[in-house]
Structure 1
Amino acid sequence: MTPSHNETKLSTRGFHEKSPEARETLETVGATFLDGYAFAVEARDQDEAHQRLERIPVRFRGFAYEGAAMGLAMLDGLPIPGNGRISAFLAGHGAPHGYMVHVGVGWAMARLPRFRWASIAPADPLLRWLALDGYGFHQAYFRTQRYVREQYRDPSFPWPGDETRRYAGHAVDQGIGRALWFIGGTDPAVVADLVDSFAADRRADLYSGVGLAACYAGGAGEAELLYLLERAGQYRPQLAQGVAFASTTRVESGLLTPHTEMAARLLCGMSPQQVTEVCSRARPEPVVDGRLTAYEVWRREIAERVSSDAPEARA
């Protein structure tokens, strides 16, 4: 149930290779994720796993925490003694990496039988949707033909088991959008063409995921990011919202990188710290779902606030 390192290579996946540098970045992301998974499942306790995770270089450390979360969620989801590892991780060393931990749970969802999902479902009423983002990424990354080429959409997604389940497809699409950044090899033209191949009603969520990956994983230069902004067109607010989530994740975990600062400046017109403040101020408290989920209301408010200051795309 665990991917091998070979499965994260672009040549194995058949993903676009823009350059040797881009390939190295994306393959290092995949390898680091799997290292984090191994650290978590092999460690005697959370402290031991934390010590190993903290040795990962800053640029890739968040992916190791994401992999660690998948590993812990897999253990929670299997019929073996012990549970509550994910909640303990979120309350402990995983707390600064909350976004990534929730996404990692989604990877476990994709590998576990559906009847085991209840044992790993995140308790946070707002960030729980990031688990489905992680699920969508996994499916697009490993089942690219069906989820990207054939653009499969599950018409009766079983999670969560309440009245908000109608939103599940949107959260999954946000994860698929993140995966498109990898499938397109960080090449904005290829990625934008992939987004454009989907039905129009899915592109806003897809561009949100693209923005998050472009800002968090990196791999594109200034001119490429400006081209991506131009191609996003009417979906620039959603692109910027994804950048805002990525910036917040890196700022809150203390893993800020130059490419995140560049993406926030170019696509949001703000510093990562300013974008993080926007996300924090817009965060709903208490979380109350209505006609729209509180998570979607939050995302829309962020999109409106950060995109209004983004520079115009250049031809």
Structure 2
Amino acid sequence: MPTTLGSARRLVMTPALTEVTFERRGFPPGPADVAQHLEAIPQAVLCGFEWGIDTRSPWELERRLSLVRREHLGFAYEGATMACTILDAMRGGRGHKTRDLLDGPGRPHLFLAYIGIGFAMARLPRPLWRRVVPDLTGSAPYHPAMSWLAVDGYGFDRAYFDTRKWVDRQHVPAPYPWQGKPDYFPRAVDQGIGRALWFIHGARPDDVADAVARFDPGRHADLWSGVGLASTFAGGAAPEALRALRGLAGRYRDEVALGMVFAVKARAHAGFVPDHTEWAASALGELGVDAAVALADDTVGHDEDGPEPTYELWRRRIRAHFASLPN
């Protein structure tokens, strides 16, 4: 059962489901069925957030989340992780709700849970960011390398909810020393903005490509990798549209394939790969799901020293695989 305090926090902090509709956000109109498919994703995030803010016990939160459709379950965990991160921050970073969630039922959804932490970061002052990611060393694979997805999530949130500033005016955030790599911070933000472009333009390849092209060319690679990730994980496009997307990416098609690999890995890690993810693996990288997962696993590195984060070195090895293939 919800607590009185939790209910008060929910009423203050949780947006209405209508707030994430394309019409309310002012996104360009498109086919109604695609909009409905894509709108269900942030709505699942909001449901997870509301339950995370409102519920009395971890068991109740897990039980509520278990009732979500498998395709949307990871998104609901994004929202629940966002809520837990904010609640922990309200305790001065001394809370353990986020750790308990990610060490427990949220473990299969770790990739999306990091993104949920990024959604919380968009609502917290920067001085609190230092403690938002719990130390999962030894208990969660791909940690801390994949925690850059929190920065990706921050970029997605800003582009989705403040589109005029972050997309139309192409705002570049100030660096932040995430994992001691401040120069990479804007790049990871751009990866999230690229994901948001897939939603903002309703999974229409031509419009998404035009949106990327309006950014500074130095940002295109990271934006395209975000597009590849979103088109694979979220779906919304038929196989022929995905093949068109790959062609429109031109010299950045390896970046699109890179995003696809991470999306397939995240879906497989969570134990459910929908049809649209299988389509994307084939259309964007000419791989089956098992081969995409193997590519991600075979290229991962751990705690590598250097000017670039381990996360980007991992991405580079995946990108190199596609670059080595004949055109």
- The TM-score range, normalised by the shorter chain, is over 0.9
Residue in structure 2 matched with residue 168 of structure 1 by the alignment? 185
8 Å contact kept, 2:34–2:202: yes
1:136, CA displacement in angstroms? 0.1
Q: Which residues of 2 match residues 84-95 of structure 1 at below 5 A?
A: 84-95=96-107
Residue in structure 2 matched with residue 304 of structure 1 by the alignment? 320
Residue in structure 1 matched with residue 297 of structure 2 by the alignment? 280
Amino acid at match of 1:241: L
Question: Which consecutive residues of structure 2, in runs of 5 or more, have no partner in the other structure?
Answer: 1-12, 136-142
> For 1:306 and 1:115, how far apart are their aligned partners in 2?
39
- 1:26-70: per-residue Cα shift (whole Å, max 9, x none)? 111121110111122222232321221121112211111111111
8 Å contact kept, 1:208–1:241: yes
Residue number among 221, 224, 247 corresponding to 2:264 in the alignment: 247
> For 2:144 and 2:92, how far apart are their aligned partners in 1?
27
Residue in structure 2 matched with residue 119 of structure 1 by the alignment? 131
8 Å contact kept, 2:111–2:146: yes
Amino acid at match of 2:48: G
8 Å contact kept, 1:105–1:131: yes
- 1:159-215: per-residue Cα shift (whole Å, max 9, x none)? 4273x1111011000000000001111111111100000011101000010011000
Amino acid at match of 2:234: A
Residue number among 22, 43, 49 corresponding to 2:61 in the alignment: 49
* Distance 1:3-1:159 versus aligned 2 partners, 3 A rule: farther
Residue in structure 2 matched with residue 234 of structure 1 by the alignment? 251
> For 2:317 and 2:96, how far apart are their aligned partners in 1?
33
Amino acid at match of 2:19: E
Residue in structure 1 matched with residue 153 of structure 2 by the alignment? 134
Q: Which residues of 2 match residues 151-166 of structure 1 at below 5 A?
A: 151-154=170-173, 156-160=174-178, 162=180, 164-166=181-183
TM-score if structure 2 supplies the norm length?
A: 0.90
Aligned identity (percent) is: 38
Amino acid at match of 1:279: A
1:80, CA displacement in angstroms? 7.1
- 1:242-261: per-residue Cα shift (whole Å, max 9, x none)? 11111011111012100000
* Distance 1:107-1:76 versus aligned 2 partners, 3 A rule: same
Residue in structure 2 matched with residue 58 of structure 1 by the alignment? 70
Residue in structure 1 matched with residue 51 of structure 2 by the alignment? 39
> For 2:25 and 2:262, how far apart are their aligned partners in 1?
27
1:223, CA displacement in angstroms? 1.4
> For 1:136 and 1:175, how far apart are their aligned partners in 2?
5
8 Å contact kept, 1:122–1:128: no
8 Å contact kept, 1:247–1:264: yes
Residue in structure 2 matched with residue 203 of structure 1 by the alignment? 220
Comparing 60-69 with 117-126, greater Cα deviation is found at 117-126
> For 1:152 and 1:10, how far apart are their aligned partners in 2?
21
> For 2:208 and 2:258, how far apart are their aligned partners in 1?
17
Question: Which consecutive residues of structure 1, in runs of 5 or more, have no partner in the other structure?
Answer: none
Alignment of 1:289 onto 2:289: no
* Distance 1:63-1:111 versus aligned 2 partners, 3 A rule: same
Comparing 200-209 with 50-59, greater Cα deviation is found at 50-59
Residue in structure 2 matched with residue 144 of structure 1 by the alignment? 163
RMSD (CA atoms): 1.7
> For 1:199 and 1:309, how far apart are their aligned partners in 2?
28
3-state DSSP of counterpart to 2:146 = coil
TM-score if structure 1 supplies the norm length?
A: 0.93
8 Å contact kept, 2:93–2:128: no
8 Å contact kept, 2:299–2:318: yes
1:115, CA displacement in angstroms? 1.8
> For 1:19 and 1:65, how far apart are their aligned partners in 2?
28
- 1:65-103: per-residue Cα shift (whole Å, max 9, x none)? 111111111111113796021122221111111100001
Alignment of 1:27 onto 2:45: no
1:309, CA displacement in angstroms? 5.5
1:17, CA displacement in angstroms? 2.5
8 Å contact kept, 1:243–1:263: yes
> For 1:81 and 1:149, how far apart are their aligned partners in 2?
34
Residue number among 231, 234, 242 corresponding to 1:217 in the alignment: 234
Aligned length: 308
> For 1:81 and 1:235, how far apart are their aligned partners in 2?
40
